[in-house]
A and B are shown apart, each in its own frame.
Chain A
Amino acid sequence: MPVVMDADRVAKSLTRIAHEIIERNRGIDDLRLVGIRTRGVPIAQRLAACLKDITGTEVPTGVLDITLYRDDLMGHDVGPQPLVRSTEIPFDIDGRDVLLVDDVLYTGRTIRAALDALIDFGRPRSIQLMVLVDRGHRELPIRADYVGRNVPTSKKESVRVHLVEIDGRDEVEVA
């Protein structure tokens, strides 16, 4: 399986993105990170660590489970319900700049659900999106503000993101 990002590249991407975030937002006082379960969560935490290294500021980081907002739940034939895990956003997002963090951007449907969910938590000033990998094939008008790496893929391929916190190693593969 071709490796498109190794541990070093993942780390460098996060550092680069952290700088872009600071630049784009002219400071990070109002920034709030929200990682989308499952692999968006450690990525958000690492990004927060990078931001702290650079600025010395702790960026509040939350966890979002978008299962209850998935568009494939409704009006479909019965089938197993995806597992719901808890959402933890222990801060107010009203008037803040919320950065959604996920591992792979593909059809855009997950992000659509995440946007719906976030809006139920309050009215942020802006919502931005960071992904580790953008593999294309969007089905909705959604794009990422920060991308670790653009990886052109065919729909038949699958992109596998491995992270130390979950999988024991950092690596992105295309299969």
Chain B
Amino acid sequence: MGDLTMLRSRHLLGIEDLEPAEISLILDTAVAMKEVGTRSIKKVPALRGRTVVNLFFEPSTRTRLSFELAEKRLSADTMGMTTAGSSVVKGETLIDTARTLEAMSPDMIVVRHACSGAAHVLARVCRSSIINAGDGTHEHPTQALLDAFTIQGRKGRLAGVRVAIIGDLAHSRVLRSNVLLLTRMGAEVVACGPATLIPVGLGRMGVTVTTSIDEACEGADVLMMLRVQHERMHGLFLPSVREYFTLFGLTAARLARAKSDAIVMHPGPMNRGVEIASDVADGNQSVILDQVANGVAVRMAVLYLLAGGEQNEGA
């Protein structure tokens, strides 16, 4: 049996650590998990008796809820911790917070943190499996996995699919994870954003970089829009929201440059009228709500697979 049946690491810190076979395993498993969500009783006992801590140091609604739902559908016991009102605001360090939680013997810790590499810090000190739910501007692996799952569901494949990723490239963990995943799976990736928001060396990651959204849209199978945060909208990165939308907003006219069956994606939360026009966001090519639904299935797959622990010799 050459087929991979488990992940090599007991953590999911980033797409960077995943081989294509592991990505496929997660996506295949997510197909089965998605079916669970269609049943009248949307719950399976697979993770009964396991404890998952959701450690969110950064505000997040959809990712946190998506993980919680995934955990509950697998019958795990879940605990949540968000920074407001926690010991973190009292000056406790990340490592101390993690060690305190570890004392309660969770099996997995899902962590969201504003600092890049925070999940790596936890993985170094924790016995539990660490799942990165977004670390700073580094990675957001489950988002890329659910995006890939959505693309695969719509296009039947990842290899050869032309994906344009448009927006604030520099500050986007979604971009990094998606670029790593899509290039690894043989997709063709075009990254587009204002020159002030293009990370150095992006071109060396196997993607085409452009500042022209028309060029990016041309012939695309997938248009993946990235959120542009309001704080970047004034001052040194961008002169104004108005100009950003003029130059980089996804409008119906620009969408028309893509393939006729192109899909429009957004990791959310969306800024309507900033990176995407409302008629496009709500149009029939938009799969934004699919992404949300798929997020639960993909996270179930990740939780399930990581519950198996680390591959050991002879396993």
Contact = CB atoms under 8 A, between A and B. Distances in A.
> Direct contact between A and B in the complex (CB less than 8 angstroms)?
yes
Interface of A: 65, 67-70, 73-75, 78-88, 116-117, 120-122
Interface of B: 3, 5-6, 10, 25, 28-29, 31-33, 35-36, 39-41, 43-50, 74, 301, 304-305, 307-311, 315
A16 to B, nearest CB: 34
B46 A68 contact: yes
Contacts of A88: 35
Given A70-B46, A78-B10, A86-B35, 15 more contacts: A68-B36, A68-B45, A78-B309, A79-B308, A80-B6, A81-B5, A81-B307, A84-B32, A84-B33, A86-B31, A87-B35, A116-B45, A120-B39, A120-B40, A122-B40
Closest 6 CB pairs of A and B: A78-B309, A81-B308, A68-B44, A120-B41, A68-B46, A80-B6
Contacts, number: 77
A84 B36 CA distance: 11
A74 B25 CA distance: 21
Contacts of B33: 84
Nearest to A122: B40
Given A68-B36, A74-B49, A79 B309 contact: yes
Main secondary structure, interface of B, reads loop
B127 to A, nearest CB: 11
Nearest to B310: A78
A80 B311 contact: yes
Nearest to B301: A84
Contact of A78 (B3, B74, B308): B308
Contacts of B35: 86-88
A70 B3 CA distance: 21
Contacts of B48: 73-75
29 contacts: A68-B45, A68-B74, A68-B304, A69-B44, A69-B46, A73-B45, A73-B46, A74-B45, A74-B47, A78-B10, A78-B307, A79-B309, A79-B315, A80-B5, A80-B315, A81-B304, A81-B305, A81-B307, A82-B5, A83-B3, A83-B5, A83-B29, A84-B33, A87-B32, A87-B35, A116-B45, A120-B39, A120-B43, A121-B40
A168 to B, nearest CB: 17
A132 to B, nearest CB: 23
A121 B25 CA distance: 26
Contacts of B44: 68-69, 117, 120
Contacts of A79: 308-309, 315
Contacts of B47: 73-74
A75 B47 CA distance: 9
Contacts of B29: 83-84
A33 to B, nearest CB: 18
Residue from A65, A70, A74 whose CB has the most chain B CB atoms within 10 Å: A74
B3 A84 contact: no
A86 B36 CA distance: 9
Nearest to B25: A83
A87 B33 CA distance: 9
A116 B46 CA distance: 12
A137 to B, nearest CB: 24
Contacts of A69: 44-46
A78 to B, nearest CB: 3
Contact of B49 (A75, A81, A85): A75
A87 B34 CA distance: 10
A78 B3 CA distance: 19
A83 B30 CA distance: 11
A168 B49 CA distance: 41
